Chain A
Amino acid sequence: MSLRWLLVVLSMAGLATATASAATPHYEYVKVTDPYLELHTGPGRGYPVTQVVERDQWVEILLRRTDWFKIRTAQGKEGWVSRAQIETTVTEAGVQKTFRDVMVDDYLGRRLEVGFAGGVMQSDPYMLARIGYRFSDNLSAEIAMGQTTGNYSDSTLYYIAVLSKPFPDWRVSPFLSLGIGRFRNTPRATLVGGTETESNMANAALGLEYYVTQRFYVRTDYRRHMVFVDQNRINEYNELSLGIGFFF
């Protein structure tokens, strides 16, 4: 009985120490290989350099904001280092940490993307927001919501679309897209006799995607929407939009 109690107490103590050590954050350590590493007071190229770290010193990377990294030296001094400088440091495994490569791989490996676009639909201004998921380099899917405000009515569109990119490794990569969704038309309150209508919709698009940096791309779409108003009538709307997107 007492032995069992002892075992329980020891295992709980073991768990406690394990969780305690997991709670202290483990930051990445890199070693400086340049003659100096300059520490700025803020994450920007205009902020003054108040500290330097010499070659062969170890620094801890605490945080990244845009292209700047907040590091702490062995003496406890903190400052911001630009990505270009920190790329030349060496990790604990002795390998040069190429942040650029890591980020480019991230672009190809990142699956979730969020984008916004603006443009025209039948000469009315049009805005849309979308969330997409990349299944592979060639295939991705997205959910989009768009809104257009015209002189006589406003329309809201929701659709799910599939995108196919035949040449994903081109810098300017074309794509083909097909989607289905709903189209809701709300006439302006100042019009007499207008009724809100909601119908099914299908659309097809051609576009180009331009990969600007590691984190975002610019995209242009030419999309044709077919709204199935009733059995006899299909309205067609052309949309041309330009948008940006980010990866997560």
Chain B
Amino acid sequence: MLLALLASGPALADTTLPKEPDQVIQPEVDRRDVKIPKINSSDFEIGAYGGMLSIEDFGSSAVYGARLVYHVTEDYFVEGLYGRSSVSDQSFCDVGLCLFTQRQEELTYYALSLGYNLLPSEIFVGKGYAMNSAVYLLAGVGNTSFANESHFTFNVGLGLRVLPRDWLALHVTLRDYLFDTDFFGTNKLTNNVELTCGLSVYF
């Protein structure tokens, strides 16, 4: 009986194959045209900040600047800064030692830093309002120029970022710029601390 089944096997196979020109059913299924839209992404942040910058040996003055941030992962981001301030040697001139060609010199700096979101969190205001936030650390390199000299600068910082909306961020940043100066004959490493508040938009 098994042999009979086996013998009929190939014969069955022959009869089940449809002959091409005599196909009765012509399947015509329209491909459903589904357009897949692009997903919006907002990894970039652009904003402005302002505050105070203190230059070692010279004094403090207001600083303002622009910031562009790219969030790489939920933990790391890269930040580019450009800021302007001014520096004055008035105190030195008062004791007879004028260092700059004019009393008030313009200072500009730019810096590229890597940031790490150390403490992502939520900030609660009152009973029903919560905002995403993060305390972050920054470290980077850049350049500071004033009085016709430019100085290679390291910067380290600590900041707080609060997001009242998904697309808006408020920043408070404390940063230390380290660079060498040789105004007094010898090279020395100076610490220049900056405290700023900023507002940025995600796009």
**B114 to A, closest residue via Cβ:** A244
Docked complex: B164-203 residues within 8 A CB-CB of A: 166, 182, 202
User: Which of B72, B73, B152 is close to A125, meaning CB atoms less than 8 Å apart?
Assistant: B152
Q: Is B36 a contact of A92 with CB atoms below 8 Å? A: yes
B151, CB-defined interface residue at 8 Å: yes
Instruction: Tell me, rounded to whole Å, the shortest Cβ–Cβ distance linking B74 to chain A.
Output: 5
Interface residue tally of chain A, by bracket? 35 or more
Binding site for B on A (CB under 8 A): 26-28, 41-47, 61-70, 91-93, 116, 118, 125, 127, 129, 147, 149, 154, 188-190, 213, 215-216, 244, 246
Point out the residues of chain A lying under 8 angstroms from B147, CB to CB.
Answer: 189
**B153 to A, closest residue via Cβ:** A149
* Dominant secondary structure at the B interface: strand
Q: Is A92 a contact of B40 with CB atoms below 8 Å? A: no
Q: Is B34 a contact of A63 with CB atoms below 8 Å? A: no
0/1 interface trace, chain B 45-87, chain A, CB 8 Å (1 if under): 0000000000000000000000000111110001000000000
Q: Is A118 a contact of B141 with CB atoms below 8 Å? A: yes
Instruction: Tell me, rounded to whole Å, the shortest Cβ–Cβ distance linking A184 to chain B.
Output: 12
Point out the residues of chain B lying under 8 angstroms from A213, CB to CB.
Answer: 72-73
Instruction: Tell me, rounded to whole Å, the shortest Cβ–Cβ distance linking B188 to chain A.
Output: 14
Whole-angstrom CA separation of A28 from B149 in the bound complex: 53
**B41 to A, closest residue via Cβ:** A64
Whole-angstrom CA separation of A154 from B149 in the bound complex: 9
B98, CB-defined interface residue at 8 Å: no
Instruction: Tell me, rounded to whole Å, the shortest Cβ–Cβ distance linking A149 to chain B.
Output: 4
**B152 to A, closest residue via Cβ:** A149
Contact of A63 with B148 at beta-carbon distance under 8 Å, contacts A93-B34, A93-B36 already known = no
